[in-house]
Chain A
């Protein structure tokens, strides 16, 4: 059965190559920091399953220390001058390899789910999308290498150039998910939910709707994820009050409540893969530039959600 292990082996191999490449990259003044960071990441992918939980935790702590005391830098590859000529030569054919991963992901998700070989599923049914994406990426990279007559060494060098630009931010989404697990174990959500239930003014349906529609994004901003906020805030405010006491329609309340949480996702550095990673990928001067661009959309939309819920739920 094809599942996550093969993707982890691939990712581990790639980060191992990044670690080696970083160590040899004399254009990076802090090459050893990068090398250690990507090497630890490779170790987590390659042997993480065989290590005790605390050692996996220690890997993360070590990576955070390397990043936190500023030991990571960036290689300065010689700028490539002939990109415009190359682009003119390829024309729109350049877009072809870029379209393969989404196309294969879509196709795989639609077709691979029921496929069995000898009574066993070909692909882990819970991971069909990720496996399809991984396969699409490998296929597209192979097509691109053949099309450009480039060696795999060029591909990993170009990949490392981008990875250096992202730097430690590339680990942040996964680290935040781990923090989420700690929050769940320590029952942080329940404490916040109880506080919200005790302290928010909840008299009348409008006050309850406002409290829920503002509580969701606030809690989402703290946790970085509306999925973590939803069960807590809905159990604390929406079900007992908006639905139970004032007779709101649970489907409407929950659907709009979740989307209010998404407004919170637009406002927080804790939602790193949406807000911090793109700022690094786009080389913005301000790490919070994407959040700043999103605030004027998120806030009016939140008001719209309050109005929609109040107008339609009762």
Chain B
């Protein structure tokens, strides 16, 4: 039970808006020390628990360095932005008279979901797609309706662009049979003596994918209406 103190530390840290990185490290140490309480609260044991935890944390940190390799893309994105990539994306959208923020993001949602369902999850993403292309396009479409777009609305449009990438990815990728989550489910069921084929699992990702498309798509259309209303004021 004591180990749940680490979870409490996470929740408190985020609720109090402390620095998330520091919150995570403190929560890890709290978890490790709390786990050591079980074998007696002697200071020496707690100290040993903290050191052990530091080692587990360090190993986890080292083993997961591959996650941060994606930052290698930043010089490329920076170079392209310097040559006007965001401006070009805006120009393209401004030329399409029928383009609105909601319609643009709806098209992106369908494309992102569809390509993720084919296993092409690396075709989107925040550093390489949303920041340089999708968010500026969504902003430009909103500006076409309201040249004096307030900062708050601008942030809402950008946040919706990021949200659309996430929703499309999450509720598309499971339709692909060789994605990590499908393999995890298959492996987990196998160790519990239940044999399922990946196709059985991925087929049952389709109803939720359709629901996600309907729900998020509706919200994008409502966003258009809200933007229009606000522009009229």
- A-side residues, CB < 8 A to B, are 4, 7-8, 10-11, 14, 41, 44-45, 48-49, 52-61, 63-65, 67-68, 70, 80, 83-88, 90-92, 94-95, 97-98, 101-102, 105-106, 127, 129-130, 133-134, 137-138, 140-141, 144-145, 148, 150, 154-163, 166, 168-183, 185-188, 191-192, 222, 226-227, 230-231, 234-235, 239, 243, 250-252, 254-256, 258-259, 262, 265-266, 269-270, 272-279, 281-282, 284-287, 289-290, 292-294, 296-297, 300-301, 304-305, 308, 312
Contacts and interface: CB of A to CB of B under 8 A. Distances in A.
Nearest to A170: B71
A148 B158 CA distance: 28
A230 B166 CA distance: 19
A299 to B, nearest CB: 9
B128 interface: yes
Given A301-B211, A308-B207, 8 more contacts: A87-B87, A161-B78, A182-B53, A187-B35, A256-B207, A279-B162, A287-B17, A305-B211
Contacts of B88: 87, 90-92, 94-95
B133 A98 contact: yes
B24 interface: yes
Given A159-B74, A171-B21, A281 B155 contact: no
B11 A56 contact: no
B61 A175 contact: yes
Nearest to A284: B155
A256 B204 contact: yes
A92 B88 CA distance: 7
B174 interface: yes
B77 interface: yes
B38 to A, nearest CB: 10
Contacts of A292: 159
Contact of A191 (B4, B27, B120, B212): B4
14 contacts: A86-B87, A87-B84, A138-B72, A148-B83, A158-B81, A159-B75, A162-B78, A163-B71, A178-B24, A188-B6, A252-B204, A259-B205, A281-B126, A304-B215
Given A155-B75, A171-B21, A251-B204, A98 B80 contact: yes
B82 interface: yes
Contacts of B163: 266, 290, 293-294, 297
From A105, A138, A161, A255, name the one whose CB has the most chain B CB atoms within 10 angstroms: A255
B128 A183 contact: no
Question: Which bracket fits the contact residues of B?
Answer: 35 or more
A10 B69 CA distance: 9
Contacts of A95: 85, 88
B211 A278 contact: no
B137 interface: no
A308 B204 CA distance: 10
Contacts of B73: 101, 137
Nearest to B33: A186
A11 B72 contact: yes
Nearest to B127: A281
Contacts, number: 409
Contacts of B11: 222
B4 A251 contact: no
B144 interface: no
A67 B126 CA distance: 22
Interface in B178-205: 180-181, 184-185, 188-189, 192, 194, 196, 200-205
Nearest to A55: B58
B44 interface: no
B229 interface: no
Contact of B72 (A14, A166, A281): A14
A148 B82 CA distance: 10
B76 interface: yes
From A160, A262, A292, name the one whose CB has the most chain B CB atoms within 10 angstroms: A262
B185 A301 contact: no
Nearest to B187: A231
A102 B122 contact: yes
A191 B3 contact: yes
Contact of A106 (B68, B122, B130, B166): B122
Given A14-B75, A56-B62, A57-B54, A94 B28 contact: no
B25 interface: yes
Contacts of B184: 227, 230-231, 258
B64 interface: yes
B73 to A, nearest CB: 5
From B25, B167, B180, name the one whose CB has the most chain A CB atoms within 10 angstroms: B25
Nearest to B160: A293
